[in-house]
Structure 1
Amino acid sequence: MDDAERQPLLRASSAEEGFTSPSGKTLTWASSFILVVSRVIGSGIFATPGSIAKSAGSVGLTIVIWVVGTILSACGLTVSLEYGCMLPRSGGEKVYLEYTYPHPRFLTSTLIAVQAVLLGFTASNCIIFAKYTLFAWSDRPTEHQEKALAVALLTVITIVHGCFRQTGIWVQNMLGWLKITVITAMSLTGIWVILVRPDYTYSLSWETLWEGSNWSWSLLSTSLFKVLYSYAGLNNVNNVLDEVHDPVRTLKTVGPAAMLTASALYLIANASYFLVVPLAEIKESGELVGALLFERVYGAHVGRILFPLAIAISAAGNVMVVTFALARVNQEIARQGFLPWPHLFSSSRPFGSPLGGLIVHYIPSLLVITLPPQGDVYNFILDVEGYPGQMFALASAVGLLILRKREPLRLRPFRAWLPAVWLRIVICLALLAAPFVPPPDNHGDVHFFYATYAIVGAGVVVFGILYWYVWTVALPYWGDYTLQEKEEVLDDGIRVTTLKRISRI
């Protein structure tokens, strides 16, 4: 092998250099599976079916949207698996995009940092926790009560993960298994009604399956964003691979297992909704369709109190695993010098956990929960998160093709199916264009201008580009200096990169 052939292997090896977690390899296969499943099965299946059905207009089209979203999510999973097995270190998409797009210098890292800080929040599941908890105990909870309870959950989880790391892992594992139990009960409700209560008046019929279908691509795209959001987190273990036993082997099995589990439960759960709850009620249910299902089948006591509380606990479990993973992404961003005070935000002291990363995650989540008015804010949050997410998904899928051509000799323990990668690319492009196609009534499924979420999401990316240009191009040019990376090792063993100004004179 000559030097030209070796070069891809040499370059790739440097990208694998993560840092050794102070806590060591503490995540087993079971913990990794829960980390993924508990991230995937969050508020999505409990809260989004109502708005998806409202946009689609019919039961048949709603089911088609879920099936298509499931296929697209599986395509995205294959991309994450190839990247994760090729570059097995913590940081997930941040690591992959930085390695694939090293030029212009610092641009990729800046965009990821801006997206992680401004849009890396867990507000939606905190809101669902508050809504379902208060639904169980109160007919008409106030907006202030919902916001206060959502903030309380976020605060407690941040403290637990920051100060009691092992306790946090244990709790999120327990909540993960409880979540699987709840979604299984929900999924089997429709089957139970068919078998045990043959005299029950079903809401679903073949004659009305496609009645009222709305084929507007603009509205269908927002529905697809919500389905993709419901599967978000299939790559959650990619964010924490430095803490996983046998990361490559674990990654290749955990993701597919979680995908099969979630997709089966989701599709059966949707069938249960449409069998038991009238379509008109589902469309108007907002985020409480799961509660309506249980109340109609099990009565006011069990259905209205116990199961909504179980759903609330499920949402809390989702907040725990998202907080756990994104705090480590923030730590990785700080470790490479793209947050202020990198020594503070990348350190694992004093509790062996990324306390700085947790704080960076806590602040935007708190603002998103407390500042916007309630009502349509949940769906709007999902759409705003989803739009730039599709930009990064597109960059990842295209980047995979670039790396295969640039580094054909690179060791790839897993190879994504090429048609799945191309399908991912085509759908990402379609979803990015869809918000600017006006729906029939010129507004989407929330009471804003139909393309508002796309404008806001794209605005975050544009802000990142402008920020990068100012601090890496304009200011160094005016100040006659260059930015150089300097690496230091903290007391807890974490390597930190600081960006130093070096005068050209």
Structure 2
Amino acid sequence: MPDKVAPAERPIYTNSKGKELQSVVLKKELGLLDGVAIIVGVIVGSGIFVSPKGVLQNSGSVGLSIIIWVFSGLLSLVGALCYAELGTMIPKSGGDYAYISEAFGGLPAFLYLWVALFILVPTGNAITALTFAQYILQPLWPGCEPPHEAVRLLAAVVMCILTAINCYNVKWATRVQDVFTGTKIFALVIIIVTGCYYFSTNDSVPFSQPMKGTNTEPGYLAIAVYSGLFSYSGWNYLNFVTEELKDPYRNLRNAICISLPLITVIYVLVNLAYFAVLSRDDILASNAVAVTFGDKLLGVMSWIMPVFVACSTFGALNGAIFASSRLFFVGARNGHLPNAIALINIHHLTPMPSLIFLCIISLALLIIKDVYTLINYVSFVEALFTTLSVSGLLWMRHKNPNAERPIRVPTPLPVIFLFICIFLVACPCYVTPWEVGIGMIIIISGIPVYLIFIYWRNKPKWLVESSQTLNTSCAKLFLCVPEEKET
């Protein structure tokens, strides 16, 4: 092994302003407000404007739908608190990947990374981008669906724009997140206020038979919960950027405790507003519940609702791109992805190759049409690995009980959360066997990839040289170098 390079002999890099950089690392630039904005901004995206239909369709009744929205919020809060313990015990970026790796080793961690890289993250980004395009174009095609090509093209454009912003400057990305988080909360407040006004001035009683039509089939209840949890998905995204969070022991916990209760209350009130104004059939017939709501109540100002919804999904997509790119950066840094993805731009100190690689895969998934199949499919795989992460929390408490835990969740909470996750993983196997089967095939397909590219030490020379060529090309193209440890 070559001698360690002395600090004075290291290459000197300068940032975009010509200022000399002592080390090329991802900086701790995220405070409590940024943490809250990331969680709220990622969670409040397309879900609350898409999922009400899925929850109602599978639960069968208004009353059970509201119960599922409350349950999904509480479950997400419990899960987020469990992840707060994991994130402070293992203060590394990467979220589930880091925790599964620490608890169970390289192969399970790689399988999570494999599925996240090609399914979980880019599919979520594609859904959010398509929802943005659908809502922003809706006023231009009143009474009908916007053209398929226009929706896909606009989704691709906005994904590229946000990737460019995240490549250029971390602070720009967090400013975008803060502004659009405020915008989406304002949009939801409009729905709540107008819904309350309509309810107070209308003679009809929309909640007279709240449990009529309830579906008690366990498998369909699990699918309904999936749709609800999809609207809360993103509660663990702050764990992806732990290394960039100032005072993570305090800010991680506080951001979670502020964000999740706030979002749960807002979501329940928004759904009550929907049900106060729209009939069950209206909701089931609508692919854009918020737009249908606006058309009925806002009159000539109804155009404002799709604009606000588009702003909401825009902010959610920005937060997802920012956080999830760090997951792949950490995976590459640990040798589970090509080293090129672990490079940092010397001028902007951003993981530029990781961001661009994620953008390319997300663009490839924009051809998918059925958003509800994607929601069920993504939720199943995500629930499976969330189950594994929480199992790791309990396993590490048994394996290493004396480890430092700045946050310790009462034991019944992770146990309850684990059993609920197992239920959510098991029940849909007979309701949506196709989605479950394809998900398992994709997970298992990562095993030979791991054995060939990671476990196999004596790789052929051509394979090693190809990897080195890719790394060198990316470093030159994007002006990137490997991360340096600050001394």
Confirm or deny a common fold (TM above 0.5).
yes
For the pair 1:310 / 2:308, whether they are aligned, the reply is: yes
Match of 1:82 among 72, 82, 85: 85
For the pair 1:285 / 2:286, whether they are aligned, the reply is: yes
Q: CA deviation at 1:477?
A: 8.4
Structure-1 separation of matches of 2:340 and 2:165: 22
TM-score by length of 1: 0.83
What is the aligned partner in structure 1 of residue 446 from structure 2? 464
For the pair 1:347 / 2:347, whether they are aligned, the reply is: no
Change (3 A) 1:334 1:478: closer
Structure-2 separation of matches of 1:36 and 1:388: 21
For the pair 1:240 / 2:232, whether they are aligned, the reply is: no
Q: CA deviation at 1:189?
A: 2.7
What is the aligned partner in structure 2 of residue 131 from structure 1? 134
What is the root-mean-square deviation of aligned Cα atoms in Å?
Answer: 2.3
Q: Deviations over 1:53-90 (max 9, x none)?
A: 11222111211221221222122112101101112222
What is the aligned partner in structure 1 of residue 326 from structure 2? 328
Structure-1 separation of matches of 2:267 and 2:419: 25
What is the aligned partner in structure 2 of residue 71 from structure 1? 74
Structure 1: state its 5+ residue gaps.
Answer: 1-19, 439-449, 484-489, 497-505
Structure-2 separation of matches of 1:58 and 1:344: 47
What is the aligned partner in structure 1 of residue 197 from structure 2? 192
Q: CA deviation at 1:320?
A: 0.2
For the pair 1:424 / 2:426, whether they are aligned, the reply is: no
Q: CA deviation at 1:317?
A: 0.4
Q: CA deviation at 1:470?
A: 4.0
2:343–2:482 contact (8 Å) kept in structure 1: no
Structure 2: state its 5+ residue gaps.
Answer: 1-22, 465-478
Structure-2 separation of matches of 1:349 and 1:55: 50
Q: CA deviation at 1:297?
A: 1.4
Structure-2 separation of matches of 1:495 and 1:21: 5
Q: Deviations over 1:404-426 (max 9, x none)?
A: 11111111111112221111111
For the pair 1:151 / 2:156, whether they are aligned, the reply is: yes
Paired letter, 2:167? G
Task: Give SS of 1:347's match.
Answer: strand
Match of 1:54 among 49, 52, 57: 57
1:134–1:146 contact (8 Å) kept in structure 2: yes
Q: CA deviation at 1:98?
A: 0.8
Q: Deviations over 1:414-451 (max 9, x none)?
A: 1112221111111111111112234xxxxxxxxxxx32
Match of 1:405 among 395, 398, 411: 398
Structure-1 separation of matches of 2:174 and 2:438: 34
Change (3 A) 1:21 1:327: farther
1:136–1:306 contact (8 Å) kept in structure 2: no
Q: Deviations over 1:447-493 (max 9, x none)?
A: xxx322211222221112232234455x55898xxx9xxxxxx9866
Q: Deviations over 1:99-145 (max 9, x none)?
A: 1112xxx3133212212211221011111101111112212311111
Q: Matched residue pairs, number?
A: 443
Structure-1 separation of matches of 2:424 and 2:341: 38
1:188–1:269 contact (8 Å) kept in structure 2: no
Change (3 A) 1:79 1:88: same
Paired letter, 1:210? M
Match of 1:180 among 176, 185, 196: 185
For the pair 1:365 / 2:354, whether they are aligned, the reply is: no
What is the aligned partner in structure 1 of residue 96 from structure 2? 93
Structure-2 separation of matches of 1:357 and 1:471: 19
Structure-2 separation of matches of 1:343 and 1:125: 27
Task: Map 1:481-500 onto structure 2 (within 5 A).
Answer: 494-495=483-484
Q: CA deviation at 1:277?
A: 0.5
Paired letter, 2:440? A
Structure-2 separation of matches of 1:194 and 1:274: 10
TM-score by length of 2: 0.86
1:348–1:492 contact (8 Å) kept in structure 2: yes
Structure-2 separation of matches of 1:155 and 1:200: 48
Change (3 A) 1:181 1:478: closer
Paired letter, 2:227? K
Task: Map 1:388-403 onto structure 2 (within 5 A).
Answer: 388-403=381-396
Percent identity between the two aligned chains: 25
What is the aligned partner in structure 1 of residue 46 from structure 2? 43
Structure-2 separation of matches of 1:59 and 1:436: 25
Structure-2 separation of matches of 1:71 and 1:21: 40
Paired letter, 2:312? S
Structure-1 separation of matches of 2:361 and 2:220: 28
Structure-2 separation of matches of 1:308 and 1:343: 39
Task: Give SS of 2:190's match.
Answer: helix
